[in-house]
Amino acid sequence: MNLIAEDAGIQIVKEICTDMKIEKEWRINSERGFEWWGHQFKQKIWAEPPMEKTLTTITRVHVETDFLKYPKRSESTDNQLATILRLSSLSGLIHDPENGCLKWHSSAFVHKKNKCWLDKMVFLAAVMQIRDCERIGVLADQLELKPHHSCHPHSGPREKIDGTLCAFDQWIMHEGKKPVLNIGEEEFSFVSKILNNINIRSAASKFGLSAYIPFGRDVSLLQVIINQPHPVLGNGILMRLSLPPEDLWEVEEINGSLIIDMNSMDQKDWPTGHFMGSWCLGPVGPNSLTPVFVSFIPKIACNPTILANMVLSMIGHNTWAEGYFFAWDRKEKFRKCKVEFQ
């Protein structure tokens, strides 16, 4: 078998470079990816080597953008960050202790059957990470942190932001002003039926769906809501997976530092879901917080295939979190719940 030809991850990396029209003077190529500067923040896009012992060639693709300098972590700052992450879309914040900084990070498990919908999601994550770095300068002031600016080692600083990047960003924002019309009660009912068939209780309406996913001795709550506007991106689909706090209180202190660590671990481990979103601190009643995985799909990417697969991805995050907190082996259970869509 020709692994390079089968490597859908490498194909996505190359297509992003082409579609974003990234010029050679602002790019540094590597064996399985590249780094580039769309303006003042460095972004790295790469594919891991294909996973072994799988029936099909699966590659994990990563998109990562330097954001804020954070050489010394503090509990209060971590708590603020974990609350702000409630507004995440397709990326989460991780801490890089080696370089003393915070980075936006997304990743996805890609193979030849799911590439047809994941390529759009990875592309959008790449665009929005850089634009989020540009937009949230006020956040750096609020947290008393400095932006992690850098420049190309040979071409030097880039004075103006990449024009193609701005065009794609404006396209995403423009589409977000329109409601999502291609997903409704029929599509949510279809996904709900899939969940019920794998013993996950769920109910659908024209506004979204709710599901109760087994977690420890309790259940996690998955909420999927359509056309609840994001403050920046406008309309789309909001997904929230809330873990049951009562189970977690016995094993872990729930705070911002835990959330940042969960983000860092979730995008490294397997099995888990596509890391297209972020863990955050979410409210579960008066004076109670719990880890919540939140993902917001911009209107431009909303279709029934992406809806179904992203819901199934949330099950993967639930399975991963159960193992993270309790060190239980859920691999067999995860395989039984996994459904692939084209």
Is the distance from CB of 63 to CB of 248 less than 8 angstroms?
no
Return the percentage of the chain with pLDDT > 90, whole number.
Answer: 78
Parts of the chain belonging to CATH 3.30.1460.10:
3-151
Going by their DSSP bridges, the two strands 278-283 and 218-226 should be labelled as unpaired
Tell me the backbone φ, ψ of residue 294, rounded to 5 degrees.
-115, 140
Burial (CB count within 10 angstroms: exposed 0-12, middle 13-18, buried 19+), residue 177: exposed
pLDDT in tens, 53-106: 567 789 999 999 999 999 999 999 999 999 999 999 999 999 999 999 999 999
Tracing tokens 């693709």 back to the chain, one arrives at 61
Residue 42 burial (CB count, 10 A): 21
* C-alpha neighbours within 13 Å on the C-beta side of residue 9: 23
User: What is the reported pLDDT for 173?
Assistant: 94
Tell me the backbone φ, ψ of residue 311, rounded to 5 degrees.
-65, -45
Fold that domain 185-335 belongs to in CATH: Yope Regulator; Chain: A, (3.30.1460)
- Quickly state the pLDDT bin for 268 (edges 50, 70, 90): confident
Residue 6 has pLDDT above 70, yes or no: no
Joined together, the tokens standing for residue 70 give 């954070």
How far from 302 is each of 8, 174, 235, CA to CA, in Å? 22, 14, 10
Residue 251 has pLDDT above 50, yes or no: yes
Residue 4 has pLDDT above 60, yes or no: no
Is the distance from CB of 280 to CB of 266 less than 8 angstroms?
no
User: What is the reported pLDDT for 329?
Assistant: 46
pTM of the model: 0.92
Residue 208 has pLDDT above 60, yes or no: yes
Name which CATH class applies to 3-151: alpha beta
Q: Find all residues with CB under 8 Å of 335, minimum gap 6, and list them.
A: 271
In sequence order, what are the beta bridge partners of 64? 44, 105
Distance between CA 322 and CA 256 in Å, rounded? 18
Burial (CB count within 10 angstroms: exposed 0-12, middle 13-18, buried 19+), residue 122: buried
User: What is the reported pLDDT for 41?
Assistant: 95
Residue 342 has pLDDT above 50, yes or no: no
Of 204, 173, 215, which is closest to residue 315 (Cα–Cα)? 215
